[in-house]
Amino acid sequence: SFDEEAELITAKGRHIWVRASGEAVRGADGVIHRIQGAFQDVTVKKAAVRQAQHLTERLSATLESITDAFFTVNRQWRITYLNTEAENLMRRSRGEIMGQCLWDEFPSLVGTAVEETYRQAMDHGRPSVLEEFFYQPFNQRFEIRAFPSGDGLAVYFRNVTAQRQSREQLRLLEASVARINDLVIITNAGVWDEPEPRILFVNDAFTRVTGYTREEVLGRSPRFLQSPKTQRAELDRIRISLMRGEPVRAELLNLKKNGEELWLEVDIVPVTGTDGAVAYQVGVMRDATERKRLEDEARATEERYVRQRNALIALTDLPPVALDDEESSFHRITESHARALGVTRVSIWRYTADRQAIRCVDLYELDTHRHSSGMVLTSRTCPAYFRAMDEMDVIAADNATDDPRTCEFAETYLTPLGITSMLDAPIHLGGAIEGVMCSEHVGPPRTWTGDEKTFAAAVANLVSLSLEGSERQRAEETARETRKRFEVVARATNDAVWDWNFATNEIWWNEGFETLFGFKRSEIQPSAESWYHRIHPDDARRVLPGIRSIINEGREHWSDEYRFLRADGRYAYVLDRGFVIRDESGRAVRMVGGMTDLTARKEAEQDLARLNRALKMLSASNEAVTRATSEHQLLEEICRVAVNTGGYRMAWVGYARNDTQKSIEPMAWAGAEDGYLEKIRLSWDENCPTGRGPGGRTIRSGEPVICRDITIENAFFHWLGEAIDRGYRSVVCLPLKDGDRVFGMLGLYASDVLQAGDDEIKLLRQLADDLAYGIGTLRSRAEIRRTEEIVLKVAQAVSSGTGTEFFDLLTMNMVEALCAHGGLIGCLNPDLSITTLSFVLSGKLEENVTYSLRGTPCEDVSQGNVCVFDRGVQEIFPEDHLLVVYGIHAYAGIPLKHRDGSVAGIMVVFFDAPLEETALVQSTLQIFATRASAELDRQIADARIREQASLLDQARDAILVRELDHSITYWNKSAERLYGWTAGEVMGLSVETLIYRETDEFKAACRKVIETGEWLGELQQFARDGRPITVEGRWTLLHDANGEPKHILAINTDITEHR
């Protein structure tokens, strides 16, 4: 018997397929006599088989081209098919797992949500979706969709690890915004009048600082935060900027919910929507209330300094209290003091003769401009106050009614007059306390500041000096009276009495000479030479001619002030007065007199003058800090102030460098510099000879270093000869600090041995601190401007287009933002070379090149590492000749990575000078690299999409995609050929009205694909020319990222000819 299929040609020439079956018929002799059988036309069946085979091949090609991984299992869970993407994600080849049991090949899935999803779909015959599953062996997350079929199960799955990371990053960003300390507020945009704009979002810091809850502010206009004091001009400026779509920065005074004032630094940035128009306004605000308070306090302090300085300058010229006009002198002092200190009452009290009480000699009341006197305070009623006057320098009673030193006269004096705080400074006369200068504050208790205490003491010292002057006048008057009564010797009754015999040229000294100057009379020669050899050389040139002129011109009285050498080597300031005794002929025979020690007074005057000069210098420096617009201008102005106002011979500012020599680089100077700073080479390295001087010690220690006399051996003054040649004798080096870091020094050079006291050094140190603060402020402003410029460049770069233009703009903006010599972006090639996508040098675009990375700084970057070489890159990579050709001294590179973490390319900037701001460069590169990496990935993805679209266009079947409302979103080339319309003509049109006339079958098919996810069947359609077409359709329902139905994919095969 036989049963075969064969292709035959009919008499009419038509090809048909037949099935021939039959058997042989044998005779009685066993020989075959005939064959009998039948032919069956199987042409249609054969065509259907070939069509099914063809469809299977096309389906397999389609499944191979889709981006989702796909595999099928039969009801015994054996793998029957998997596409290429499934091989990639499963990390197994078809040959390894086809025909194998799924659970045997992937045992870690047993008992998981994956097994539950697959079995639920298989058992219940319904699709099942697993939104996200973390597969521990691969450390990846997958989205899984399982569809049951008659043969088993079809599974689509894809890697959603990157999407999960993106969502997590978004969640972290939202959480960060909600928790940052800056206040964040987002409003809508476009309408500017009440009640718009409305608040759409505020973060936790906003509710915490303002006191309002989110429910209380959302939907309201931000105007409700304003107060009557809110600056209208600033509000108008903000409105104009926002209407223009421009970012704006301002400072506004608002109100908290509890009514407290709230100063805010506000940065408002418009944010565009998808249509490119401004849709939102994002405001970032910082609480500036404390800063404003500190600025107000600083202004108040500066105003106090100015008042006190002016008062001291005015009172410095105060003459000795006149015997006949003591009242007017005291009036001038109390009035100036009250205005400068801002107190209601100022009074001067002096001890009575028995020192058991103090009597008010002048009380000035500022409010009424009234003077009075005569009040008495006794030690019997106020013993604690009198003890305090004897024991303390200044009595500062912030709360006078409770202070144990002043509370004794609270009921009788303080409370009735409303006095709450007192600041009392002692008045000295002749080495003892003569009285007290009292400052009395009316109103809320007042905390006396250090400068106020110093000022009060300084004014009291001025009173002391004035009283001493009056006492000296009184003593001189008494001496004159005494001389008249007690003849010649009584005329010179002072501390050190002398008698000069002109005949023998001998001088006799009394015991007071030993007391004042420390000499024993037996140790010195009793000669005039012994006297004038001890006069300071600068004064001797004046004193000796002066005394000779008195003697030679017939006058009697002589007096002068000069410096006289003590036994300990120091000079005393003395007032020397003498009376010439003449014989009957008028010839001078003797001269008697005495010397009074003025050292204490002179030193006090000099201290006061130096202190006043330092105050003037501090005030002028503060004004310079306030006015300065650049760092170099500020440094030069401070140096000029030190020379012109402070009286120093030379002043300069140097910065500590972190180079190998640890050098101190001069930045600005003033005065008699004469090439000194160019000659010397200072260091702050303690192991270097030039680093052991005052400048190096100041930078290392962070403390002022004072060389009162640079000629002393232990001063370690390395450049002594150069300093002496330029008239320098003493040096003050003050540290410039940023927090705990010393970044430089201020050097003040004087022409004399330095006599500065602690108060003057404190003022100089404050001057240096103010200078450092000013430098920091200017640098902060410059850094803010630089950051704003960089942010603008980043925004310009990342908002540009795509492709070649994008990379050129990105590289140009990156180089300009970082002030770099050049930069490039390149794609990494398999042979460890790169091909540049954009190459910028000296501000110009260069031709793209391909070059090897071996032996270059880019080699390490290609391995995925960020590399920054702030200097010396040519020495580190001597094989890279391009570094020398382009003059590159510093380099920064960052890898550009695919989403899977592999390196796609590199981004590089290079500099023709050492790099200082490495952190800024690195952070800026991160921003630019993120955008560049995204663009590389996007280009690769676009190329893949174009390739897949090209494959679809080459398919013979008509492939189209439509929305659920039947509007067409994709139409391949085969569809254009089949139906006659181009893709451009049908996009957005309804497929129902385009190619169907009777739509009942079409609608039924649509319902089926929505219900089951798939539909397979035949439909009658019509081409553009009206020609009817019979198609076999294979429709698949496509879902969006949330699992919701989104599109219908239709693959239509023309079977018209087979009908």
Question: What pLDDT does residue 784 have?
Answer: 66
Read off the pLDDT of each residue in 252-277 and give the average, rounded to a whole number: 86
* Pairing mode, strands 376-378 and 557-565: unpaired
SS3 341: helix
State which CATH number among 2.40.50.1070, 1.10.420.10, 3.30.450.20, 1.10.10.60 fits the domain covering 955-1058.
3.30.450.20
Question: What pLDDT does residue 945 have?
Answer: 56
Helices (H) and strands (E) in the chain, counts: 32, 42
How far, in Å, CA of 614 to CA of 647, rounded? 9
Question: What pLDDT does residue 489 have?
Answer: 44
State which CATH number among 1.10.10.10, 2.40.160.60, 2.10.70.100, 3.30.465.10 fits the domain covering 2-41.
2.10.70.100
One DSSP character per residue, 73-95 reads EETT-BEEEE-HHHHHHHT--HH
How far, in Å, CA of 611 to CA of 753, rounded? 16
Please say if the pLDDT value at position 989 is more than 90.
Answer: yes
Question: What pLDDT does residue 486 have?
Answer: 38
> Is the separation of the CB atoms in 179 and 204 below 8 Å?
yes
Residues 6+ apart with CB under 8 A from 728: 649, 650, 710, 749, 750, 751
Please give the residue that has the higher pLDDT: either 617 or 112.
Answer: 112
128-137, 539-548, 559-568, 789-798: which range is least confident on average?
A: 789-798
**Where are the alpha helices (H) located in 317-366, listed in sequence order?**
326-341
* Pairing mode, strands 1014-1022 and 705-707: unpaired
Tokens of 695: 């400048």
Please give the residue that has the higher pLDDT: either 465 or 505.
Answer: 505
Residue 419: left (phi > 0), alpha (psi -120 to 50), or beta? beta
Beta bridge partners of 990: 967
Q: For residue range 3-28, list pLDDT tens digits in order.
A: 888 888 888 888 888 888 888 888 88
Q: How far is CA 823 from CA 65, 255, 865, 871, in A?
A: 39, 49, 17, 16
> Is the separation of the CB atoms in 453 and 422 below 8 Å?
no
- The three-state DSSP-derived secondary structure of 920-964 is HHHHHHHHHHHHHHHHHHHHHHHHHHHHHHHHHHHCCCEEEEEEC
How far, in Å, CA of 592 to CA of 488, rounded? 8
Please give the residue that has the higher pLDDT: either 449 or 314.
Answer: 449
- CATH code for the structural domain at 180-287: 3.30.450.20
Question: What pLDDT does residue 797 have?
Answer: 53
How far, in Å, CA of 83 to CA of 67, rounded? 10
18-27, 94-103, 107-116: which range is least confident on average?
A: 18-27
How many Cβ atoms from other residues are within 10 Å of residue 650's Cβ? 25
- CATH code for the structural domain at 800-939: 3.30.450.40
How far, in Å, CA of 617 to CA of 768, rounded? 11
One DSSP character per residue, 131-153 reads EEEEETTTTEEEEEEEEE-SSEE
Sign of the CA dihedral running 972, 976, 982, 987: negative
How far, in Å, CA of 530 to CA of 815, rounded? 80
Residues 6+ apart with CB under 8 A from 332: 315, 318
Q: Using a pLDDT cut of 70, give the percent of the chain over it.
A: 87
User: HSE on the CB side for 1057, CA within 13 Å?
Assistant: 5
Read off the pLDDT of each residue in 232-248 and give the average, rounded to a whole number: 85
59-68, 344-353, 543-552: which range is least confident on average?
A: 59-68
Which candidate, 593, 602, 542, places its Cα nearest to that of 570? 602
Residues 6+ apart with CB under 8 A from 925: 814, 866, 892, 894, 907, 909
One DSSP character per residue, 358-414 reads EEEEEEEETTTTEEE---EEETTT-HHHHHHHHH-S-EEESSTTT-TTTGGGIIIII
Residues 6+ apart with CB under 8 A from 849: 835, 836, 839
Helix (H) or strand (E) holding 43: helix 43-65
Tokens of 900: 């899977």
Question: What pLDDT does residue 100 have?
Answer: 93
Question: What pLDDT does residue 995 have?
Answer: 93
Residues 6+ apart with CB under 8 A from 150: none
Question: What pLDDT does residue 323 have?
Answer: 43
Query: Prior bond to 195 cis, omega within 30?
Result: yes
Please say if the pLDDT value at position 266 is more than 60.
Answer: yes
CA 1032 distance to own-chain centroid: 68
What CATH class is the domain 491-597? Answer: alpha beta
Q: For residue range 115-173, list pLDDT tens digits in order.
A: 999 999 999 989 999 988 888 888 889 999 999 988 899 998 988 887 777 666 656 66
What CATH class is the domain 309-471? Answer: alpha beta
> Is the separation of the CB atoms in 465 and 554 below 8 Å?
no
Which candidate, 767, 784, 848, 839, places its Cα nearest to that of 808? 839
> Is the separation of the CB atoms in 389 and 436 below 8 Å?
yes
Question: What pLDDT does residue 779 have?
Answer: 77
Please say if the pLDDT value at position 485 is more than 50.
Answer: no
780: burial class by Cβ within 10 Å (0-12, 13-18, 19+)?
A: exposed
Compute the CA torsion angle 609, 611, 617, 619 (nearest 10 deg). Answer: -120
Helix then strand then coil, % of the chain, to nearest 5: 40, 30, 30
How confident is residue 181, by pLDDT bands cut at 50, 70 and 90?
confident
**What amino acid is encoded at 31 in this protein?**
V
SS3 1003: helix
Q: How far is CA 919 from CA 737, 795, 822, 1034, in A?
A: 21, 20, 18, 59
Q: For residue range 375-394, list pLDDT tens digits in order.
A: 999 988 889 988 888 876 78
Please give the residue that has the higher pLDDT: either 486 or 903.
Answer: 903
CA 144 distance to own-chain centroid: 47
Please say if the pLDDT value at position 548 is more than 80.
Answer: yes
* Pairing mode, strands 958-963 and 32-41: unpaired
Q: How far is CA 947 from CA 60, 940, 972, in A?
A: 18, 11, 13
Question: What pLDDT does residue 996 have?
Answer: 92
572: burial class by Cβ within 10 Å (0-12, 13-18, 19+)?
A: buried
- CATH code for the structural domain at 76-164: 3.30.450.20
Note every long-range contact of 481-488, with CB atoms under 8 Å and residues 24 or more positions apart, other chains counting. 483/579, 488/579, 488/581, 488/592
Q: For residue range 491-501, list pLDDT tens digits in order.
A: 344 468 888 88
Q: Do domains 2-41 and 180-287 have the same CATH topology?
A: no
Tokens of 856: 């270059």
How far, in Å, CA of 621 to CA of 775, rounded? 12
Q: Where are the beta strands (DSSP E) in 705-831?
A: 705-707, 730-738, 741-750, 822-829
Please say if the pLDDT value at position 479 is more than 60.
Answer: no
Read off the pLDDT of each residue in 225-232 and give the average, rounded to a whole number: 85
How far, in Å, CA of 653 to CA of 635, rounded? 7
How far, in Å, CA of 143 to CA of 154, rounded? 14
Question: What pLDDT does residue 911 have?
Answer: 93
Question: What pLDDT does residue 1027 have?
Answer: 92
Residues 6+ apart with CB under 8 A from 843: 812, 815, 816
Domain borders along the chain are: 2-41, 76-164, 180-287, 309-471, 491-597, 604-784, 800-939, 955-1058
* Pairing mode, strands 140-148 and 32-41: unpaired
Residues in the chain: 1059
Judge: domain 604-784, CATH 3.30.70.3270: no
Helix (H) or strand (E) holding 759: helix 758-798
Please say if the pLDDT value at position 487 is more than 60.
Answer: no
Which candidate, 175, 160, 259, places its Cα nearest to that of 899? 160
How far, in Å, CA of 466 to CA of 428, rounded? 10
Read off the pLDDT of each residue in 755-777 and give the average, rounded to a whole number: 79
Please say if the pLDDT value at position 1020 is more than 50.
Answer: yes
Which candidate, 99, 101, 97, places its Cα nearest to that of 86? 97
The residue written with tokens 């004042």 in the block is: 516
Q: For residue range 427-467, list pLDDT tens digits in order.
A: 888 778 889 999 999 999 999 888 888 888 888 887 877 77
